[in-house]
Structure 1
Amino acid sequence: MKRIMAAIVGAVLVAGAAQAETLNFSVGMGPNSSITKAVNAYAERVEAATDGEVKIKVFPLELVGLPEMAPGIRDGLTDIGYMATPYFPSEFAHSNFLAELSMALNLFEGVSGIAGNAYAGAMTEFITTKCPECLAEFKAQNHVYMGHMSTSPYSLLCNGDVKTIDDLKGKRLRAGGAVFKRFSEHFGAVGVQLPANEAYEALSQGVLDCAILSVPELTNYRLQDVVTSVTLGVPGNVFGGTVSGNFNRDVWAGLTPEQREDIFKEQARLASDMTFTYASEQERNLKETKDLGKSVYTPDAEMQAALKDFAMADQDVVAKLFAENYGVDDAAEMQAEFLTVLERWLDLVKDVKNAEELAKIYWTKNYSKLDPNGYGLD
């Protein structure tokens, strides 16, 4: 009898081992970046939540890079991927349009500390509940959309000083997307499009005067070595075009409903960890900048007014560009509806003190409403 029971237990253990999944998660960021650290923690939580049935191996840089992430997920080169959709303007036109509206944050007063938390929540809600075109674009690329993260507001990280609007004239600014190029040109600067990981070399060699990036990138890309000043909140928008971890559709379909439910819960925490860390790391980086004897400037009244005027005018420019160039025919309607959602999210996250609190809001308002029996399986 004991031999029979042992055989049964052994068979169950073998079956359980056979069902275990090991998924690859490509990040496209360095191993010490805050993003990779958040993914590592997510991998540990998913394994614990699924009782070891789903394991995740994290590849910071080795498997698929950011410029190849969309086809990498599509073709199964990676099972999960942290992806910046603006690298793929045509494939994800509708969600890119929403991300491009972030200059509107300049139209709200006193939101710099919560801007990223709100933008990520608003993006995820709008795409999953109000933008079937967005979901269709992800489906067409064999992706399951799993929500957005956001940076803290972008600032000018400079080798030199930018204190006033006039100081911008003639400056060469790292512009990672179309909105930053428009901003640069509007204020008489030159927008230079290049990846963030090339900003260090460009600043050190004088190719750039400033990089338009969030303050935590001083650490993430080691820019503290080549930056002499920071001008906070200029241009003041966030980079809201990054999904925290899309799944390959075939991989997603191979999971059980229970596993998908567990992953939804951990995805809410992943998005909050990535996003909230940018806000908290901003304060640490600013303190370090000041401790190193470098200058930190805040925009004066003239600069703030000019930013608000540009942000207001740019909303119409963005809608027209995406309608004409990418076929986002309902851009004006989407814009109005999204800004209403964003304003509500600014109120939702105004009292958030840590990543755990933010994760609860993301879960309650967004991820808990996704059906593990149907979402991403149509």
Structure 2
Amino acid sequence: MKLSKLLLALGLGVAIASGPAAARDLKLASGVLPTHTNHTGYEAFAKALKEQAPDMNVRILPLSFLNSTQTYAGIRDGVVDLGFVLAPLLPSDLPEAQLPINLAMLGSSGFAMAGAMTEYLMTCQECQAEKLKMNHVYLGSVAAGPYWILSTKKITTLDDIKGKKLRSGAAPWGRWASDMGAVAMSITPNEIFEAMSQGTLDGGMLPASELTNLRLIDLVKHVTTGAPGGTYHGMEILNVNRNTWRALSEPQRRAVVDAAAMGSAVVTLRFLGDVERNLAEARKKGIQIHEAAPDLVARSKAFAAADIARVAASAEKDYGIKNAPAKAQRFRDLVAKWEKLIPPGIDKAEPKVLADILHKEIYSKIDVKTYGM
């Protein structure tokens, strides 16, 4: 039974937008706790949308309604109008998206990677086709800060990491962990706390922002910076049910698109600030902050350099992606482009500065008459 039918049977169904009146009240499934960084982006999106289209309202539904794995089906089936999608968890449905996601080790700036990922997916014909097939209209990605090791045990050297069980949020860090001699475990963000508290995990490869986002600050004893590196940019911050999208008027679609740029900018800035805030809070809690040892750093750099060719080969072999090397190169070029677009003092920039860059380079070029239709 589809998720929409199940919820309707339980009396929890929500109306699929079938006309202008229904489309004005948009139900958004966050898939995360209200304390999560992404939630601030949804609040900013709702506010920006209201300012541009006063007749449109956004109701943000909490994690208890749909979790991060259920939201994808919820959007597809019209249970909600829009929401958050963790694309790395959906390789069979979104094979084209896995190629740029798997190039995570190219990343050092969350803003650059979010911009590159959004531009890539919005202008990739095959990527668009697989999303529309699943009744989704894609409106942007965000990226977290650099990935470090958050653990209950000290892990700074190659000897330390051998045999350790570490949560991996996507394939690149799974490959990295295996190459380092660790055991990669793939579980959702909302399961990490319990797994670490029960000793099923020794730690996770995560950005420092997750210390508070996922309450890991109550469990983690050590943070190791400088490894594994890379950024997580497979977070599709705003996907819209295609039926809802089609039911909106062109001005309403334009308002949603423009508000999406602001939501993404707010999340980016929050992730940047969260790194420093979390490290400061961690020190107050007595958590030890370490730098990765030279042997772990050197091994990590060698892995990252060799990983690009592996990603392209895997995309062709495992997912049937055509012209994978050329697509990998295109994404690399977009990363280089967006790194040049990073404004000076980005961590202290106003959200509008980043939103304007995203709008100029990406969102203003969306033709709402045809996009997603």
What is the TM-score normalised by the length of structure 1?
Answer: 0.89
Question: What are the superposed Cα offsets for residues 218-256 of structure 1, whole Å, 9 maximum, x if unpaired?
Answer: 101110111011011321111111111111111111111
- 1:359 CA drift (Å): 1.1
Residue number in structure 2 paired with 1:224:
217
CA distance in 1, matches of 2:287, 2:21: 56
Give the stretch that moved more between structures: 348-357 or 254-263: 348-357
Which letter does structure 1 place at the counterpart of 2:119? E
Of 114, 117, 123 in structure 2, the residue corresponding to residue 123 of structure 1 is 117
Which letter does structure 2 place at the counterpart of 1:95? A
Residue number in structure 2 paired with 1:248:
241
Give the stretch that moved more between structures: 349-358 or 115-124: 349-358
CA distance in 2, matches of 1:19, 1:228: 49
Residue number in structure 2 paired with 1:290:
283
Cα contact 2:152–2:221 (8 A) shared by 1: yes
Residue number in structure 1 paired with 2:6:
none
Q: How many residue pairs align between the two structures?
A: 351
- 1:349 CA drift (Å): 0.9
Cα contact 1:252–1:376 (8 A) shared by 2: yes
Any stretches of 5+ residues in structure 1 without a counterpart? 1-16, 106-111
- 1:346 CA drift (Å): 0.9
Q: Is residue 2:208 matched to residue 1:208? A: no
1:323-334 matched pairs, under 5 angstroms: 323-334=316-327
Runs of 4+ in structure 1 over 4 Å off: 17-20
Q: Is residue 2:27 matched to residue 1:31? A: no
Which letter does structure 1 place at the counterpart of 2:122? T
CA distance in 2, matches of 1:103, 1:145: 24
Change in Cα spacing, 1:310 to 1:19, as seen in structure 2 (3 Å) is closer
Residue number in structure 2 paired with 1:84:
86
Question: What are the superposed Cα offsets for residues 155-206 of structure 1, whole Å, 9 maximum, x if unpaired?
Answer: 1001011122221111111122222221111011111222222221222222
CA distance in 1, matches of 2:64, 2:282: 31
Cα contact 1:80–1:245 (8 A) shared by 2: yes
Of 351, 356, 360 in structure 2, the residue corresponding to residue 360 of structure 1 is 356
Question: What are the superposed Cα offsets for residues 21-54 of structure 1, whole Å, 9 maximum, x if unpaired?
Answer: 1010001101222212221232122122102x11
Residue number in structure 2 paired with 1:108:
none
1:1-378 matched pairs, under 5 angstroms: 21-51=24-54, 53-105=55-107, 112=108, 115-129=109-123, 131-351=124-344, 352=346, 353-354=348-349, 355-377=351-373
SS of the residue 2:33 aligns to:
coil
SS of the residue 2:69 aligns to:
helix
Give the stretch that moved more between structures: 246-255 or 343-352: 343-352
Which letter does structure 2 place at the counterpart of 1:126? Y
SS of the residue 1:303 aligns to:
helix
Which letter does structure 1 place at the counterpart of 2:84? Y
Change in Cα spacing, 1:18 to 1:77, as seen in structure 2 (3 Å) is closer
Question: What are the superposed Cα offsets for residues 328-347 of structure 1, whole Å, 9 maximum, x if unpaired?
Answer: 12111100111011011111
- 1:308 CA drift (Å): 1.2
CA distance in 2, matches of 1:249, 1:201: 35
- 1:363 CA drift (Å): 0.8
Change in Cα spacing, 1:18 to 1:122, as seen in structure 2 (3 Å) is closer
- 1:283 CA drift (Å): 0.5
CA distance in 1, matches of 2:29, 2:183: 33
- 1:18 CA drift (Å): 5.1
Give the stretch that moved more between structures: 345-354 or 186-195: 345-354
Question: What are the superposed Cα offsets for residues 52-90 of structure 1, whole Å, 9 maximum, x if unpaired?
Answer: x11111012133221122221111011001111112102
Change in Cα spacing, 1:88 to 1:19, as seen in structure 2 (3 Å) is closer
Cα contact 1:173–1:190 (8 A) shared by 2: yes
Residue number in structure 2 paired with 1:6:
none
Question: What are the superposed Cα offsets for residues 63-119 of structure 1, whole Å, 9 maximum, x if unpaired?
Answer: 3221122221111011001111112102111112111101123xxxxxx4xx11000
- 1:317 CA drift (Å): 1.5
CA distance in 1, matches of 2:179, 2:21: 59
Cα contact 1:156–1:210 (8 A) shared by 2: yes
SS of the residue 1:66 aligns to:
coil
Cα contact 1:70–1:88 (8 A) shared by 2: no
Which letter does structure 2 place at the counterpart of 1:368? S
